[in-house]
Copies of this chain bind each other. A is one copy, B any other.
């Protein structure tokens, strides 16, 4: 079977980065198509008519949507190397639980902090720090969430690292102070080429976030 792989994505998306890291881990060649989310391409609307969101992985013409689902798909199709999922069903359920937790919590809480002032801002900041502390606790003393190896939950979380400077600057806190073990984990992840070559510079993300807020008239 031919393996024609196309990724519809946006450079700054942590959800897109998950897919790029997963493809790099598996050594899959693909065509990257940068989407402009203010003027979505006909192919994005056709391939993800339900959510109209990136990332979309198009494998031999057929779309797979939602980053956590795409990463599992990649793991199941290119199953000859670097398995992402733990072999134990209980560990698999836990990895899925925490990726789902990230999806339900991080982005919305960050937006709450980012787009509000006063009490709501402070509440969002506290919640965001508490989410990362919970995730740090879940890591425990393991080098990676996948144990000795980089796995599904590592892939699910590490892209957010590229947003940390934005979180810290808008929230006026330091991840290094709040979550030193999580930062040590992030640095271990960054030793992997699949991660270091995928994650954009934190300052570039921050500049994007600043310009986004300006464009929302919320400077």
CB contacts (< 8 Å) of A66 on chain B: these are 96-97, 100
| Known contacts A101-B50, A134-B50; A90 and B64 CB within 8 A of each other | yes
A-side residues, CB < 8 A to B, are 50, 59, 62, 64-66, 69-70, 72-73, 76-77, 89-90, 92-93, 96-97, 100-101, 134
Q: Which of A59, A89, A93, A100 has the most CB of B within 10 A?
A: A93
Q: A interface, by DSSP: helix, strand, loop or mixed?
A: helix
Report whether A72 and B93 are in contact in the complex, using a CB–CB cutoff of 8 Å: yes
CA distance A83 to B64 in the complex (A): 22
Give the contacting residue for A93; candidates B50, B73, B97, B134; CB below 8 A.
B73
| Known contacts A64-B90, A89-B76, A89-B77; A100 and B50 CB within 8 A of each other | no
Report whether B73 and A90 are in contact in the complex, using a CB–CB cutoff of 8 Å: yes
CA distance A65 to B101 in the complex (A): 11
CB contacts (< 8 Å) of A65 on chain B: these are 97
CB contacts (< 8 Å) of A69 on chain B: these are 93, 96-97, 100
CA distance A70 to B94 in the complex (A): 10
Q: Which of A92, A97, A100, A101 has the most CB of B within 10 A?
A: A97
Q: Given contacts A62-B90, A69-B100, could you give 7 more A-B pairs where the C-beta distance is less than 8 Å?
A: A64-B93, A64-B97, A66-B96, A69-B93, A69-B96, A70-B93, A73-B89
Shortest C-beta distance, A51 to chain B (Å), equals: 8
CB contacts (< 8 Å) of A101 on chain B: these are 50
CB contacts (< 8 Å) of A90 on chain B: these are 59, 62, 64, 73
Nearest B residue to A103 via CB reads B100
CA distance A166 to B12 in the complex (A): 42
CA distance A97 to B72 in the complex (A): 11
CA distance A70 to B100 in the complex (A): 13
- 12 A-B pairs within 8 Å (CB atoms) are namely A50-B101, A50-B134, A59-B90, A64-B97, A66-B96, A69-B96, A69-B97, A69-B100, A72-B93, A72-B96, A73-B89, A76-B89
